[in-house]
């Protein structure tokens, strides 16, 4: 009996810190973003652990109410138990991030997910992307990105779909699902991201028409430290998982594989102008 209890306890602790989901989906806005209504999905799938981060000096508070309308939809994942992408971003106060990334770290304004189909960025109150800084290589050889937040500042998780595929986006903040406030799990549903649309997740969902804004706060004020489902050990991590979902009357396209032809580093000598955004072939 004691061994059985011990196994259950370990299984619970493993599942508790995993990535995220919920049973709601929000319809996204076409680029550029416009106000839209949200969509919901039933639960499925499994969970994945987030990488370790420096001791948090910053968490995310349950902020003021912001209008965000939703509606429920039924979608089908092509691979219910296998996401197309799982990613995470660590965050902390500026001094802690500097210590973690070292001098002159690589900086990005977004992460490329699902073979470049989707851009993930964290947006500040001015509508600008907060720079992501690559952390030093850890003892296990892992690399990850950090962002520096400021206590009291509001932020938004933004997902921009550059493709003609549709995705279900499951997001977590401090190990909690942004839709249901429970420990993150890929078994839950997420927000729907349609082709060439932008999804802004502005807070923890309170109802079909309102979210509680994401605001950086001290760990003691973080939502994860002040709700029964939360775990203070998960404070300081943002998680995202993407599942490609079926579109009506559109069969799934195969993923792009390597080209057998020899690569050419300069295929169009003499070309001028700036690089246009990608436009993926059907």
Burial of 189: CB neighbours in 10 Å, binned 0-12, 13-18, 19+: buried
271 lies in some domain: no
Looking at the structure of the chain, the number of domains it has is 1
2 lies in some domain: no
Q: How far apart are CA 155 and CA 130, in angstroms?
A: 9
Can you tell me which residue has the tokens 């639960």? 43
**Which residues constitute the domain of residue 182?**
19-48+56-240
**Cβ–Cβ under 8 Å, residues 244 and 113:** no
269 lies in some domain: no
174 lies in some domain: yes
Q: How far apart are CA 5 and CA 267, in angstroms?
A: 63
pTM above 0.85, yes or no: no
Q: How far apart are CA 223 and CA 230, in angstroms?
A: 7
Q: In tens digits, what is the pLDDT along the chain, a chain of 282 residues?
A: 545 444 444 433 333 333 333 334 444 444 544 334 556 464 543 344 444 445 778 999 999 999 999 888 999 999 998 999 999 999 999 999 998 888 888 899 999 999 999 999 999 999 999 999 998 665 343 458 999 999 999 999 999 999 999 999 999 999 999 999 999 999 888 999 999 999 999 999 999 999 999 999 999 999 999 999 999 999 999 999 999 999 876 777 777 665 555 565 655 555 445 555 545 555
248 lies in some domain: no
């Amino acid at each position: 009996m004691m061994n059985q209890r011990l196994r259950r306890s370990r299984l619970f602790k493993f599942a508790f810190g995993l990535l995220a989901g919920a049973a709601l989906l929000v319809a996204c806005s076409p680029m550029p973003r416009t106000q839209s209504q949200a969509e919901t999905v039933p639960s499925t799938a499994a969970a994945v652990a987030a990488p370790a981060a420096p001791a948090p000096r910053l968490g995310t508070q349950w902020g003021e109410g912001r209008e965000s309308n939703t509606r429920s939809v039924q979608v089908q994942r092509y691979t219910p138990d296998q996401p197309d992408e799982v990613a995470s971003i660590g965050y902390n106060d500026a001094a802690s991030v500097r210590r973690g990334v070292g001098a002159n770290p690589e900086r990005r304004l977004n992460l490329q997910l699902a073979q470049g189909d989707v851009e993930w960025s964290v947006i500040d109150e001015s509508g600008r992307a907060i720079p992501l800084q690559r952390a030093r290589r850890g003892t296990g050889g892992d690399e990850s990105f950090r962002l520096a937040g400021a206590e009291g500042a509001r932020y938004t998780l933004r997902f921009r779909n550059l493709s003609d595929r549709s995705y279900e986006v499951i997001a977590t903040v401090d190990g909690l699902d942004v839709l249901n406030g429970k420990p993150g799990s890929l078994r839950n549903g997420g927000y729907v991201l349609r082709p060439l649309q932008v999804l802004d997740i502005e807070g923890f969902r309170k109802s079909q028409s309102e979210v509680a804004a994401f605001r950086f706060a001290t760990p003691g004020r973080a939502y994860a430290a002040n709700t029964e489902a939360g775990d203070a050990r998960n404070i300081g991590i943002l998680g995202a998982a993407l599942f490609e979902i079926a579109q009506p009357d559109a069969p799934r396209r195969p993923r792009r594989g390597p080209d057998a032809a020899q690569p050419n580093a300069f295929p169009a000598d003499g070309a001028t102008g700036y690089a246009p955004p990608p436009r993926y072939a059907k």
